[in-house]
């Protein structure tokens, strides 16, 4: 991951450049500077890896700034952008002499910027991808298997355990149910993020989130009308995810079970794909096909984790056969606890520790494995799958 600064003379351009940089998913922190000489970093002060400058702030001042930055840090990657349709060769030459590495047309296209940054990363550290993947996708093998229940409760336990910022993006189609399960009245949704890419930097993104007081989760609400998805293309979703990753420790998303080829980039950028299924024939049959589809798209199925929800001891035979056939181990078994889950849904709250039930403990275990934290004491001991093995499904 790279550090970056944007240089512009006005707030609008600063915010636009910041949004572009954050949407590439390659930057971990962004500073904002103006071209004015008083603000130039001094020897000994840190200079970021990449500096993106809008020449509209004054060509001469910007090029002086670029030369100054190169003196302080010869490896800095200065990218200049200009609204001029055809920058004249004299300007390009002058820019080069002052240490500008790339010259982009303004308004900058995030994908053009991304390509320039990838070239720079490749030169600096050949073979390294330079992206820190924080995205965990929660996907259902089919409808109604508990995908949203898993996403919400895993997110809540992750926030509790790590005490870090956990974002839950509701990308389920046609309707998102996360807000409903957490009893949130969200003012903004995924539509507001994906429909405002020119403004979508981390500040704007954070303002679209709804905070869930009790769990600490930050939610980007899903669609409450299927029309909200109209015109939202997959690259826009990828940019939203990139911005979410740039300013948060964990990003979870509930993608439901409806997807098409368009979701491929999101699956490819995920650190982990949690595939939720029940241990019945249709869910396992579909799960097998999801795995095959993802492999055919080039998604690394080693990143897939299979979560069996509403698990029952008698499911084991079918699960063993599934594991043997697909060579994919079952990552977690979440016991069936209809009463507790229904109560939590009706209350609009994640499952609570007060209930002291094995399902909560299993979510804690799952969160701890995701965060790489070892649980100690009672939280660990409570993970006894068999306790609910005689509870009938409803």
Ligand X SMILES: Nc1ncnc2c1ncn2[C@@H]1O[C@H](COP(=O)(O)OP(=O)(O)OP(=O)(O)O)[C@@H](O)[C@H]1O
Distances (CA, A) of 220 to 66, 161, 238, 324, 350: 38, 21, 14, 38, 16
CB of 273 to ligand X, least distance (A): 15
Which string of DSSP letters, residue by residue, matches 315-376? GHHHHHHHHHHH---EEEEEE--HHHHHHHHHHTS---GGG--HHHHHHHHHHHHHHT----
Around Cβ 11, how many Cβ atoms within 10 Å? 9
Out of ligand X, Mg ion, none, which partner does residue 305 contact, by CB within 5 to 8 A per kind?
none
Q: Which is nearer to ligand X, 148 or 242 (CB)?
A: 148
Q: Which of 23, 34, 179, 336 binds ligand X (CB under 6 A)?
A: 336
Out of ligand X, Mg ion, none, which partner does residue 257 contact, by CB within 5 to 8 A per kind?
ligand X
CB 330 within 8 A of CB 341: no
Tokens 């200049």 found at: 80
CA distance 308 to 319: 9
Out of ligand X, Mg ion, none, which partner does residue 215 contact, by CB within 5 to 8 A per kind?
none
Counts of helices then strands in the chain (DSSP H, E): 15, 13
Instruction: Compose the 163-202 pattern: x for residues touching Mg ion by CB under 5 A, - for all others.
Output: --------------x-------------------------
Q: Which is nearer to ligand X, 17 or 341 (CB)?
A: 341
CA distance 167 to 333: 24
- Binding to ligand X by residue 338, rule CB under 6 A? yes
- Binding to ligand X by residue 334, rule CB under 6 A? yes
> Encoding tokens for residue 165?
């910022």
Instruction: Compose the 287-316 pattern: x for residues touching ligand X by CB under 6 A, - for all others.
Output: ----------------------xx------
CB 119 within 8 A of CB 77: no
**Sheet strand arrangement including 330-335:** 210-211, 218-220, 166-170, 250-256, 135-140, 272-277, 304-311, 330-335
Restricting to residues 100-159, which ones interact with Mg ion according to CB under 5 A?
Answer: 147-148
Out of Mg ion, ligand X, none, which partner does residue 145 contact, by CB within 5 to 8 A per kind?
ligand X
Q: Give 378-384 contacts, CB < 8 A, sequence gap 24+.
A: 382/356, 382/358, 383/358, 384/358
Q: Which is nearer to ligand X, 110 or 256 (CB)?
A: 256
- Total residues found in the chain within this entry: 394
Q: Which is nearer to ligand X, 76 or 267 (CB)?
A: 267
CA distance 330 to 158: 20
Instruction: List the alpha helices (DSSP H) in 198-307.
Output: 202-208, 234-246, 264-269, 281-296
CB of 231 to ligand X, least distance (A): 23
Q: Which is nearer to ligand X, 130 or 256 (CB)?
A: 256
> Encoding tokens for residue 310?
């509403």
- Binding to ligand X by residue 358, rule CB under 6 A? no
Q: Which is nearer to ligand X, 172 or 291 (CB)?
A: 172
Q: Which is nearer to ligand X, 46 or 342 (CB)?
A: 342
Restricting to residues 106-165, which ones interact with ligand X according to CB under 6 A?
Answer: 140, 143-149
CB proximity list for 378: less than 8 A, separation 6 or greater? none
Out of Mg ion, ligand X, none, which partner does residue 266 contact, by CB within 5 to 8 A per kind?
none
Q: Which of 102, 170, 201, 337 binds ligand X (CB under 6 A)?
A: 337
Out of Mg ion, ligand X, none, which partner does residue 201 contact, by CB within 5 to 8 A per kind?
none
CB 124 within 8 A of CB 3: no
Residue nearest to Mg ion (CB): 148
CB of 254 to Mg ion, least distance (A): 6
Q: Which of 256, 283, 291, 357 binds ligand X (CB under 6 A)?
A: 256
Restricting to residues 188-227, which ones interact with ligand X according to CB under 6 A?
Answer: none
Q: Which residues bind Mg ion (CB under 5 A)?
A: 147-148, 177
Q: Which residues bind ligand X (CB under 6 A)?
A: 140, 143-149, 172, 177, 256-257, 309-310, 334, 336-338, 341-342, 345, 359
């Amino acid at each position: 991951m790279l550090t970056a600064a944007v240089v512009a003379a006005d707030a609008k351009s600063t915010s636009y450049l910041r949004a572009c940089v954050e949407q590439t998913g390659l930057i971990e922190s962004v500073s904002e500077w103006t071209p004015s000489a008083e603000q130039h970093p001094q020897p000994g002060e840190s200079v970021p890896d990449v500096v993106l400058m809008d020449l509209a702030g004054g060509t001469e001042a910007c090029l002086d700034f670029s030369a100054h930055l190169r003196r302080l840090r010869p490896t800095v990657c200065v990218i200049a952008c200009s609204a001029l349709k055809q920058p004249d060769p004299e300007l390009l030459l002058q820019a080069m002499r002052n240490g500008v590495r790339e010259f982009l047309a303004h308004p900058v296209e995030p994908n053009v910027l991304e390509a320039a940054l990838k070239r720079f990363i490749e030169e600096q550290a050949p073979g390294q991808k330079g992206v820190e993947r924080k995205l965990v996708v929660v996907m259902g093998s089919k409808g109604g298997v508990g995908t949203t229940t898993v996403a919400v409760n895993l997110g809540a336990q992750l926030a509790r355990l790590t005490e870090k910022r956990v974002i839950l993006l509701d990308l389920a189609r046609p309707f998102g149910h996360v807000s409903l399960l957490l009893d949130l009245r969200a003012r903004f949704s995924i539509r507001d993020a994906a429909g405002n890419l020119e403004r979508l930097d981390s500040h704007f993104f954070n303002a679209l989130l709804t905070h869930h007081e009790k769990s600490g989760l930050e939610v980007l609400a899903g669609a409450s009308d299927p029309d909200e998805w109209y015109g939202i293309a997959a690259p826009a979703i990828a940019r939203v995810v990139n911005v979410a990753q740039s300013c948060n420790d964990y990003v979870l998303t509930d993608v439901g079970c409806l997807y098409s080829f368009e979701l491929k980039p999101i699956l490819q950028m995920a650190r982990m794909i949690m595939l939720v299924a029940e241990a019945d024939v249709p869910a396992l049959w579909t799960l097998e096909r999801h795995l095959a589809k993802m492999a055919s798209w080039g998604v690394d199925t080693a990143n897939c984790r299979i979560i069996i929800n509403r698990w029952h001891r008698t499911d084991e035979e079918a699960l063993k056969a599934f594991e043997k056939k697909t060579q994919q181990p079952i990552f977690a078994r979440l016991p069936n606890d209809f009463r507790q889950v229904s109560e939590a849904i009706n209350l609009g709250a994640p499952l609570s520790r007060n209930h002291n039930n094995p399902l909560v403990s299993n979510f804690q275990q799952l969160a701890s494995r995701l965060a790489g934290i070892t649980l100690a004491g009672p939280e660990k001991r409570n993970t006894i799958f068999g306790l609910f093995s005689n509870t009938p499904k409803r």
